[in-house]
Chains A and B, each alone.
Chain A
Amino acid sequence: MTRKGLWVINIVILLCLLGSVGTIYSLTSKPTNFMLSCSSELFNHGATGSESDHYLLVDLVSKDGLAQINYRYYDLEGNSVGTLAMAGKVNKVDTERQMFDVSVTTKQEYTGKNGQSTPAHYEYLSYISGLNLNQSGMHSLSVQVLERDETKDYAVVLFQPSNTVCGCRLVNQ
């Protein structure tokens, strides 16, 4: 084999090794840590016309590639009426497009005291997430930042696939 041929082989091997190192890094690197804290007012226009108002606090915490999402529901007196605690992993953080991709693999549900009715939103979220977890063992969601102000630590985000807009406090850890 000629000297030129050996050089070509060496360079190809080097490029392959560099590519492999890059791929392994991208597959094993941990996404950026972040935290979203969102507070919402819940309204339920029921069949009877009566409305039951609740508050919802959503915390989405990403740390070292793991994700924790807590949905905490309160009545107007501040009593806890239900909690949905989901855990999973952060699949991808696209800093350029301001998108976060999260897969929820486990969830725990806590309802309030006996006799307390749970908010309609709780029932809805419990049903949707349970459907996905039972079907595919995973409840995937993405968070897209629509508007962001670093100085004021807030962001308006869009959750998919539920198509939910929400204004949140954004904390980069």
Chain B
Amino acid sequence: MLLGHCRFDIGKGDLINQDTDVVWHLPRAELHVLSLLVEYQGNVVAKSLLESGHEDDSHLSSASVARAIFTLRSFLGPQYESLIETVKGQGYMLRAHRARKETTSTWSAPFIRLQQVLLMVIVLVALLLAGLWWFNQQRHTVNPVLPLSVETVTLKSEQQVDVILYSLSNTNNELLIAQAQQLVQSLQQCTVTIWSRVFLSLSHDKQVLNITLRGDHFGQSLIRNLKISDLRQPKQFLTPQWLAQLNICSTSNGRVAPSNQLQGG
């Protein structure tokens, strides 16, 4: 029989607090009163019945019954003391509905403990997954590279060409800048060119100069990629002679013979 967080063992006459495991072996008066209240649970038990002996000829005084009620309520604790209700002028009643409700609480204590453990596990797993996700994001995060410089070159025909340099670092870019200046000087010799944007980058070990020329021809996009390796020291990726051969002043995307190059130059 469950009374709040206590279990009443009628056979042994024990009232056991299941939260603290404290066992109270009920004295005669308390056992007698509680047995009657349980027997008539949900109904008012008259004081006279409580005072009379139950299975023996013993008789309890009114004060003994009142004291037994008081000690029983004390053991039940403030949360469940109202289970034993005083019905004024009649007697006492063990409330049925609270007792029934607390029946589920027999299971609620371990259930709540299980729920708390489960919650902790879920939170830990969620944190682990969040950490994994964050690590995964950070591991593959590469910040976009911004242009080292953008220089607009004006040709003889007032046509403008953007020369854009890309580098991983802002230091030790003398070689790239020198090569870009070489290209700018050659472009300035052109009257007109098909190219409108020129991208330059030097490989991280400064062994390969990459040039991408971008232009439009009758609405068609034109692209020319040049990759220049130079094993010499000092390096001279771009020379005026070589750029002349490259035909950067061309108005078409095709290669032409060296003799037809440097229009207007």
Residues of A within 8 A of B (CB): 1, 9, 12-13, 16-17, 19-20, 23-24, 26-27, 38-47, 56, 91-92, 97-99, 101, 120-121, 124, 128, 142, 144, 146-147, 149, 152-154, 156, 158, 160-168
Which among A13, A40, A153 is the interface contact of B226 at CB below 8 angstroms? Answer: A40
In the complex, which residues 2-47 of chain B have their Cβ closer than 8 Å to any Cβ of chain A? none
A-B contact pairs, 16 of them (CB 8 A): A26-B133, A45-B232, A45-B236, A47-B232, A91-B139, A99-B144, A120-B229, A124-B203, A142-B142, A144-B142, A146-B166, A162-B203, A165-B166, A166-B210, A166-B212, A167-B225
Most chain B CB neighbours (cut-off 10 Å) among A1, A13, A147, A158:
A158
Q: Mark B209-241, 1 if CB is under 8 A from A, else 0.
A: 011111000001101111111111001110000
Given A27-B136, A101-B142, 6 new contacts (CB under 8 A): A16-B122, A24-B129, A146-B166, A160-B145, A161-B168, A164-B203
Q: Which residues does chain A contribute within 8 Å of B108, judged by CB atoms?
A: 1
Query: What is the chain B residue whose CB lies nearest that of A39?
Result: B225
The answer to whether A20 and B125 touch across the interface, beta carbons within 8 angstroms, is yes
Q: Do A19 and B130 touch across chains, with their CB atoms under 8 A apart?
A: yes
A121: min CB distance to chain B, Å = 6
The interface size of chain B toward A, counting residues with CB under 8 Å, comes to 55
- A13 contact from B122, B133, B167, Cβ within 8 A: B122
- Cα A114 to Cα B41 in complex, Å, equals 104
Q: A23-B130, A160-B145 are in contact. Are A42 and B166 (CB under 8 A)?
A: no
* CB–CB B224/A19 < 8 A: no
Per-residue CB contact flags for chain B residues 137-181 toward chain A (1 = under 8 Å, else 0) read 101111011000000000000000000001110000000000000
